[in-house]
Amino acid sequence: MQKHNWTREELIVAFNLYCKTPFAKIDTRNSGVKELAHIIGRSVSAVALTLVNFARLDPALRARNVSGMRHGSKAQEKIWNEFAGNWESLAFESERILADYKKTPVEESARIFTDDLNIEGRERESIVKTRVNQNFFRATVLASYNNHCCITGISVPELLVAGHIIPWATDKKNRMNPANGLCLNALHDRAFDKGLLTITPDYTVKLSAPLLEKLKKIKSELFFLPYNGQKIQLPSKFLPLKEFFEYHNSVIFKNE
């Protein structure tokens, strides 16, 4: 017998999958959709439809004139707002609930490294939570950018970093917010962190004066100069907020 009303727990793990799945790959053929359908006892089409329904609430998709299904439940909207109001808590809760469905420890379900943790109790739990959340953030940001560096287009996973626009340690409220994330290759992520380049609120790459001065000494420079003044590739989900770039431009960017 087909179940009808979705529980809060089912919607939370569905949103977890929505976050980690590139929008173009949300369909009944997706292996993650099939796996979640099996785990929660729903049809594959029901899971896929729920993920698409979450898309109708995504401002990034609205900005690109892409919409999901027009009809969706108030419960889905409530889950969206819960995550938006507290990404740090809800990200971990979604991973914990998913682990409960799988009947495995959360660290095993999230596939995080714990071999170096020779401690127990609250300290271990705190470290595990941080690593689980960092793994969630990376998966969400990379999926939003379809696993491509937003500056260069590089798509080698081992070279990609889910970086923060406002640093992790600076803004606790938005440290897990995917709209505070960028998918960058390791070199440009380092330059962004050090303020050697920034992205303006209109999504344009801007190199710092000190970096440009150093690049003058290089006869053929291919890593930075071709991208100066170019627009970044925007994500399909969780569009970076312009106020985050304004912070990076004014506080971190070293243009003198």
Last residue of a domain, one of 91, 113, 143: 143
Classified as helix, coil or strand, 135 is: helix
Residues 6 or more apart from 137 whose CB is under 8 A from it? 91, 162, 175, 176, 178, 181
Q: Are 133 and 107 in contact (CB under 8 A)?
A: no
Asked whether residue 21 is domain-assigned, the answer is yes
The answer to whether residues 211 and 184 belong to one domain is yes
Give residue 43's domain range.
Answer: 8-143
pLDDT tens string 8-64: 999 999 999 999 999 999 999 999 999 999 999 999 999 999 999 998 888 877 766
Asked whether residue 150 is domain-assigned, the answer is no
Which residue is it, tokens 């940001």?
141
What pLDDT sits at residue 1?
Answer: 42
The answer to whether residues 19 and 61 belong to one domain is yes
Asked whether residue 101 is domain-assigned, the answer is yes
Domain count, the chain: 2
- How much of the chain exceeds pLDDT 90, in percent? 77
pTM, full prediction: 0.92
Q: Give the span between the Cα atoms of 145 and 237, in whole angstroms.
A: 8
The answer to whether residues 133 and 244 belong to one domain is no
**What amino acid is encoded at 217 in this protein?**
K
Torsion of the alpha carbons at 62, 84, 231 and 51, rounded to the nearest 10: -50
121 CB neighbour count, 10 Å cutoff:
7
The answer to whether residues 189 and 230 belong to one domain is yes
> Computed over its alpha carbons, how large is the radius of gyration of the chain?
20
Last residue of a domain, one of 143, 170, 186: 143
| pLDDT < 50 stretches in the chain | 1
Angle at 157 between CA 39 and CA 169, to 5 degrees: 85
What are the angstrom distances between the C-alpha of 95 and each of 87, 145, 231, 252?
12, 21, 34, 32
What pLDDT sits at residue 58?
Answer: 87
Q: Give the span between the Cα atoms of 178 and 142, in whole angstroms.
A: 10
Q: Give the span between the Cα atoms of 31 and 124, in whole angstroms.
A: 32
The answer to whether residues 204 and 122 belong to one domain is no
What are the angstrom distances between the C-alpha of 151 and each of 25, 160, 218, 229?
22, 11, 21, 11
The answer to whether residues 24 and 114 belong to one domain is yes
The answer to whether residues 165 and 137 belong to one domain is no
DSSP assignment, residue 181? E
